[in-house]
Amino acid sequence: MIELSHIEKRFGDAVILKDISLSFPEGSVTALVGPSGGGKSTLLRCINLLEIPSAGTVQIGDAKFDFSGGKKASWQDIQAIRRQTGMVFQNFQLFPHRSAIENVMESLLTVLKWRREKARERAMELLTKVGMAHKADAWPATLSGGQQQRVAIARALAPSPRVLLCDEPTSALDPELSAEVVEVLGKLASEGTTMVMATHDLRLASRIANHVVFLEAGQIVETGNAEAIFTRPAHERTRQFVSSINAAQGLELPAS
């Protein structure tokens, strides 16, 4: 279980997140949606403390830290949270000087101190899962965007994290390559992988997510079942957003 309680994030006088409280059950897939600048990526990065909350509590499993009252997390506190998450970035962030399999092996070797043979076996298992075993020895520069993102997903899964965090995983890809990534994430979802993703891609969200959080101006406007949010949202602002994104992506919003 991942729990966020009364999370706030400020940059100077700017309030980016305002009193966010959410829980993400094991095995669930949650999509964070909303307009640009609404706080989706910042919220996602607060889960693994790539962004440090200004207030509130983050808990993943038994690891918990309360940032209220100006408390500062130690490196050990941060690592206790971060080691339970895997992160998939918008622009892949593969090491260009390492092959696909070496990218997947890296955290196992340097952080978990696995033997090379064991790390290579785990990496090949994951590359097979994402359909990239045949490119194990390829350099990132020789791979398409969709292939690089699939390697990045394998890398994020390597240490068996409690939750996979995806920050706009398809936004840097054209529709054909995006479909490759959606297929892989859909397979992971069907296997019970806990995921939280920030996305503008309603194809991705509607296919994979079972829960949706609509954010605007750093606040939660509406949460609920994915089908309900995308077909019969309770708030007019949510409906306006979904309709505008559907129109831009060539989708139709079913009548409520």
**CB neighbour burial string for 34-54, b if at least 16 within 10 angstroms, e if fewer:** bbeebbbbbbbbbbbbbbebb
Asked if 21 and 63 sit in the same domain, the reply is: yes
**Angle at CA of residue 10, ends 7 and 16, nearest 5°:** 75
136 located within any domain: yes
What are 209-243's pLDDT values in tens digits? Answer: 999 999 999 999 999 998 889 888 999 999 998 88
Burial of 237 (0-12, 13-18, 19+ CB in 10 A): middle
How far apart are the C-alpha atoms of 173 and 246, rounded to whole Å?
18
What are 121-139's pLDDT values in tens digits? Answer: 999 999 999 999 999 999 9
Average pLDDT rounded to a whole number, residues 168-196: 90
Average pLDDT of the residues of the chain: 91
How far apart are the C-alpha atoms of 242 and 173, rounded to whole Å?
21
Structure-block tokens of residue 150 = 């699939």
Asked if 38 and 156 sit in the same domain, the reply is: no
233 located within any domain: yes
β-partners of residue 10 are 15
What are 73-90's pLDDT values in tens digits? Answer: 899 999 999 999 999 999
Average pLDDT rounded to a whole number, residues 85-112: 95
How far apart are the C-alpha atoms of 29 and 197, rounded to whole Å?
8
Asked if 39 and 154 sit in the same domain, the reply is: no
62 located within any domain: yes
User: 196 to each of 21, 31, 59, 77, 173, how far by Cα in Å?
Assistant: 14, 6, 14, 21, 19
- 18: CATH: 3.40.50.300
**Angle at CA of residue 36, ends 92 and 49, nearest 5°:** 55
> How many domains, the chain?
2
180 located within any domain: no
How far apart are the C-alpha atoms of 64 and 81, rounded to whole Å?
7
190 located within any domain: yes
Count other Cβ atoms within 10 Å, centred on residue 75: 8
Asked if 80 and 21 sit in the same domain, the reply is: yes
pLDDT range class, residue 256, cuts 50, 70, 90: very low
**Domain hosting residue 4, numbered range:** 1-84+166-174+186-250
β-partners of residue 14 are 11
181 located within any domain: no
Average pLDDT rounded to a whole number, residues 183-201: 93
Asked if 17 and 76 sit in the same domain, the reply is: yes
Asked if 142 and 212 sit in the same domain, the reply is: no
Asked if 154 and 204 sit in the same domain, the reply is: no
Asked if 209 and 106 sit in the same domain, the reply is: no
**Is pLDDT at 255 greater than 80 in this prediction?**
no
What are 149-169's pLDDT values in tens digits? Answer: 999 999 999 999 999 999 999
Q: With H, G, I as helix, E, B as strand and everything else as coil, classify residue 22.
A: strand
pLDDT at 174: 85
Spell out the residues 6+ positions from residue 76 whose beta carbon is closer than 8 angstroms to its own.
none
User: Which percentage of the chain shows pLDDT scores above 90?
Assistant: 74
pLDDT at 253: 45
User: Which percentage of the chain shows pLDDT scores above 70?
Assistant: 96
Asked if 79 and 99 sit in the same domain, the reply is: no
β-partners of residue 161 are none
Asked if 69 and 3 sit in the same domain, the reply is: yes
179 located within any domain: no
What are 24-58's pLDDT values in tens digits? Answer: 999 999 999 999 899 999 999 999 999 999 999 99
255 located within any domain: no
Asked if 73 and 119 sit in the same domain, the reply is: no
Asked if 195 and 78 sit in the same domain, the reply is: yes
